[in-house]
Amino acid sequence: MKNTDRNNRIMSARRVMVYSALAFLALSVISAAVYYFTGYLKNPAQAFFDSVSAFSTTGLSMFGKPDQLPVWLRIFRASSQWIGGGITLAILALLLSSPDGDSMGGETAETYYRFGRSFNTAFRRLILVYLSLTAVLLILLAVTGCGFADSVCMAFSTVSTGGMSPGPVLKNGLSETVVMLFMMLTSISYPLYYYAVRKRTGKIEKNNEVTVFLGLMILFCVLVSTSLVISGTYGFRESIELGCFHTVSNFSTTGFALDDISAWPSFAQSLLTIASFIGGSSFSLTSGIKIARMIVIVRILSRSFIVRLHPKAVISTKLNGARVPRKMASQMSTFLLTFFAFFAAGTFLISFDAPDLMSSFGLCAAALTNTGNGFSFAFSMGSLNAFTLIVMSVLMLVGRLELYALLIPAPEHNS
């Protein structure tokens, strides 16, 4: 870290990436020690895996029935998810306060991010939204009949998009609706809440990312629910309730599951998988590719087709009313390729231990998108060996931090 003045420090993108990863790893090791020395997870690899899953807000767990765990352990694990969400907000605040970074020195320009007043302001605003969503959800869950411990665990898991399976915790349709609403709210870009409070409607109106996100979510809810009705998996009302809940859960990469989706039609399962890969809005706690990147990638592809037909056409790629710089568009394209490279490599490595290819696919997708319990597996998580657990832990960290695309810029040579 370098000093520029007393109130403004800068750090290279690579150091931000390394320190962020080390923070997650250090907390995971401490949490794993708690699981191991209390005897709840006697395998060190399983304890570490469960800890990484919690802090990366993934939701995969070695605890088969979380609702049967001691109250202190349930709250401890839910708190780990919530703290992991807070660390991610600090990274997002850094990106918000210096969105393009500063290129500095040498033949290869390196990006630096500023820790100063703008960072402190951005972090305070994001944390305020985080605390507010958590507090309101906690109160609403208590009002709908959930016990105190259940309300705390569900609030922490929902707002952080951590998503351990709720099981019988959600007492009625009203509590399910409340959780579904907050999964959607935490998927929306956090700065928009600040703009709404400050009545800066212009910023909100220009944000077409949220419009696309909500439109896709509604479309997928209709398609998944229709699939469940046509297949006769559930009755009409239950199909709508479960279809909408699981769709929002996967889009938000929270991963809550009210039922075993392995018995659902392949069409519905495919849509839920696609939803988890897409994820939510940028500058939210969701994982996956993110809606903003999907919009830019689609527009780049569209522009390439138009240019082939009309070579002299000049078409700029825009997002939220602003032109996307060529460098940023290139980084988004690179991220997409890197994301699927990790997915292919992860699926291959997991296949050495998983019983079949679809299980390898599901485990890798659950880890890399940080969706976790949004996927059903036909075997016990406890049967996975230490190597597979470490591979999945790495995938969860990569998915949570979005290491390559967000923090390391493409090298540029000074002319």
Which has the closest alpha carbon to 89: 401, 303, 364? 401
What sign does the dihedral 67-382-88-195 (CA atoms) show?
A: negative
Higher-confidence residue of 69 and 360: namely: 360
Average pLDDT, stretch 175-202?
A: 86
Residue listed under structure tokens 């996927």 = 375
Reported as a pLDDT band with limits 50, 70 and 90, residue 203 is confident
Query: What is the pLDDT of the chain when averaged over all its residues?
Result: 82
Higher-confidence residue of 1 and 305: namely: 305
AA letter at 157: S
Higher-confidence residue of 303 and 255: namely: 255
User: What φ, ψ does residue 39 adopt, rounded to 5°?
Assistant: 85, 5
Q: Please name the residues in contact with 394: beta carbons below 8 A apart, sequence gap of 6 or more.
A: none
pLDDT digits (tens, 9 = 90+) for 127-138: 999 999 999 999
**pLDDT at residue 191, as a whole number:** 86
Lowest-confidence region among 17-26, 142-151, 165-174, 232-241? 165-174
Helix (H) or strand (E) holding 388: helix 386-401
Helix (H) or strand (E) holding 328: helix 326-350
Reported as a pLDDT band with limits 50, 70 and 90, residue 318 is low
What is the rounded CA–CA span in Å between residue 138 and residue 100?
A: 36
Higher-confidence residue of 145 and 206: namely: 145
**pLDDT at residue 19, as a whole number:** 83
**pLDDT at residue 8, as a whole number:** 58
pLDDT at 59 over 90: no
Contact 125, 96 (CB under 8 A): no
Lowest-confidence region among 44-53, 55-64, 81-90? 55-64
**pLDDT at residue 307, as a whole number:** 64
pLDDT at 283 over 50: yes
pLDDT digits (tens, 9 = 90+) for 330-340: 777 788 888 89
Reported as a pLDDT band with limits 50, 70 and 90, residue 116 is confident
Contact 114, 93 (CB under 8 A): no
**pLDDT at residue 7, as a whole number:** 53
Lowest-confidence region among 102-111, 254-263, 273-282? 102-111
Per-residue b or e along 329-360, where b marks 16 or more CB atoms closer than 10 Å to that residue's CB: bebbbebbebbeebbeebbebbbebbeeeebb
Kindly state the tokens that stand for 353: 């231990």
Reported as a pLDDT band with limits 50, 70 and 90, residue 103 is very low
Is residue 144 helix, strand or coil? Answer: coil
- The percent of residues above 70 in pLDDT, for the chain, comes to 83
Lowest-confidence region among 161-175, 190-204, 361-375? 161-175
Reported as a pLDDT band with limits 50, 70 and 90, residue 106 is very low
Average pLDDT, stretch 204-221?
A: 87
What is the rounded CA–CA span in Å between residue 135 and residue 88?
A: 19
Average pLDDT, stretch 235-257?
A: 92
pLDDT at 404 over 70: no
Q: Distances from the Cα of 390 to the Cαs of 258, 308, 361, 386, 398, in angstroms?
A: 28, 46, 16, 6, 12
What is the rounded CA–CA span in Å between residue 106 and residue 9?
A: 20
pLDDT at 166 over 60: no
pLDDT at 345 over 70: yes
**pLDDT at residue 403, as a whole number:** 60
pLDDT at 10 over 60: yes
Reported as a pLDDT band with limits 50, 70 and 90, residue 406 is very low
- Answer left, alpha or beta for residue 323, where phi above 0 means left and psi between -120 and 50 means alpha: beta
Helix (H) or strand (E) holding 277: helix 266-278
How many angstroms from the chain centroid is the CA of residue 192? Answer: 18
Kindly state the tokens that stand for 335: 């991220």
Q: Please name the residues in contact with 9: beta carbons below 8 A apart, sequence gap of 6 or more.
A: 1, 2, 3, 114, 115, 116
